[in-house]
Chain A
Amino acid sequence: MKRFKKAAAICLAGLTALSTVGVTGVYAEEANYDVDNMEFDNVEIRVAFRYTSGSETDGQSKWYYEKLEQFNAENEGKIHVKDESISAEADYEEKLTTDFASGDVPNAFLQYGGSRTKEYVDAGYILDLTPYFEQYPDWYDGVQEFAWETTQFEGHEGTYGIPWSSYQLCLYYNKDYLDQVGAEVPESWDDLVEVCGKLKEAGIQPFNYSDKDNYHYEHLMSAMALKAYGPEIADDLATDKEAYNGEKMVAIYQKMKDMIDAGYWGDAILSTDFSTERNMFEAGQAAFTVDGTWNCGNFQNDSDTTLFDAQKIGVTRVPYIDEAYKTVEMGGGSDTYYITTLNKSEEEIAATVKFIKYLTNVDAINEKCQYSPTTYAEKVTIDTGNYLLDEVNKIMAENTASKLELPNYDTNTAAMDTIRNSLQALATGASAQEVGDDIVDKMSAYE
């Protein structure tokens, strides 16, 4: 009996050791990150981005759908990618929220970093791409250093996504109108106010500012605060050293309100959306427009390209408030792809990485830039012939610091929506202090 027990014990020990070897073997197989050389068998993956299917004017969407078709054709019988894109931001966010609540999430999705994405990372549902970047160093090296901020999250080591676009808020102007009133391109905020006064006197509407989509005021507020107080303001607000209803921020809202009260931003701010603002600028109905660097491509691709073709559009930095922060900008990495692990098999994850790599390698982004000339996160080398983009690249090369939108740094996940909503009140007659108090009041309700 004793012998039998001994033999059984040895056998069990052997089996245990063998199973460990087996597990190690399996682990070694699972730890393969070379997705380009993996074998896939009819894997279907779903991706949710913000492209517009069938759009002829949106160069990025056009490029994406062509690449999607190409990828599916190249991987027939191996990987099939199903696109679930929704272009409208609110509807897209709603879809993501519902998907993450039900556990039926797409394999890859698009976000912009910050507190919204952090929730998913905190929950452990986003793939750390570090080992894949180690496998494909060119893929990682293809991205500009400043753009990685959207993939880094406090309390988590690793790189949780791949950015593909970058941006900076810029001031676009109609060269003819400035010449007409004998004005120089404004460098400081005071210069801008002065030029607006001259334009108004000459019967030229300075801006047709839009905030129907409710992000525009918040973008400008972020840029103005950075240009008044430097990049530290982002952390100061996030750590409550500064408050959104404090003296510094109220001074920024006041500058915005002064522009509204003087009529420099137009009469229908909350009824105008960003594309209408751009179209009105293109049609010569305003001397200025403020928006991201994506406008370089939009001006080239829109239906009315008269001003762009005649090179009558100029681009410059958002005017500084304190000259010391002239080259501090609101911008950085923007659109970023994230890969989900929630209820996903290893094979699905690998197939998704393969597809995302297909979309974001430098060659692909160079091609995308041809379709839509704008600023990208990747090191684009091609010359698109877009004169505005050349100007923007020169400006960005001289930046001393850049920060994302200020609410992105707040730990309160409601920060972005509450700040954007409260700022709209500037256009409905609220005072600068009331707006600041409203932001703090509302944010406290969501803590």
Chain B
Amino acid sequence: MNQSFLDYYNLQPLFMAIHSALCSIMPEGLAIFLEGLVVAVLILIMYAVLAIILIYMERKVCAKFQCRIGPNRVGGKGGLLQVPADVLKILTKEIIELKNSDHFLYALAPFLVIMASILTFSCLPWNKGGEILHMNIGIFFVLAASSIGVLGILLAGWSSNSKYTIIGAVRSGAMIISYELSIGLTVLTMVMMSGTMDIQQIVASQADGWNIFKGHIVAIAAFIIFLIAGNAEANRGPFDLAEAEQELTAGYHTEYSGMHFGFFYLAEYLNLFITSGIATTLFLGGWMPFHIAGLDGFNAVMDYIPGVIWFVGKTFFIVFLLMWIRWTFPRLRIDQVLTLEWKYLMPASLLILLLMTVCKVFGLVF
């Protein structure tokens, strides 16, 4: 298999070169500090830019579904500047302090949510050598970090001192904690298939075919469950009952304004991206190009396309799938959401885990 172009796009040597260049002119500690600073700024910029792209995409996609045009005035023909304009507007909005809220927790909650989101965001494998947080238990860290978000949601609902928010928060808490089981089990299935928890190695193990093809029926079932549960984790329709504007006006973030609200909003969209990104990593080969064993010419052509494009492309494909679901289905009720998880998805994912074990032991995966 021709790996030359994959190596050509490998970012690892570039980063090493920068690191050694910096080390040669300053102490290593300072160099690492400076690199950390630059990376942090890069993450935040990427985070914000992606959010803008996703919001714009959501508006356009939902407009298409709803026989509308979507934003089309601000910034020329496609309404390209609509979202940046909205971002600027929300930045100028006043952050309202409620009289009877718990001020400290009230202010803390959005940061917890955004922090969880950024931490998981940093684990995504953008390219070969292009991940930011790299550790041998990467996928485990993603699961752990993403769970901080629910804490923020619960605190937001609790500290706002409003009945709507508390109902929204409790709903969200019950739902996210339940669906984490399915996510955990499906992730475990794929970890078992790849034989590692390291995100880069999971991707590398898919060089000869993506997991969804290698794991055939079992992997496809796991993929579907992961998408459903991931959609629930991201609090998006048809699982958006934590916000449920028709019932609870805006659920747990009813009382938030300005950029505090903006953080929740940002986190929602980025969680969508992260869920899709993890799904891409686990099932669709991450940044790995599409390879068909045996067709070397075809594989070589696929390798010309840089890994980052593969990753972003696949992720946006899944984002589109999730948007499609959101704009088609009505919302579930809380008891139905929990029934779906505890009676169907959780047993199903346990079964899938078992099946994967069997397949792995008897060599039924390719």
Same assembly: no
Instruction: Give B contacts to A, CB under 8 Å.
Output: none
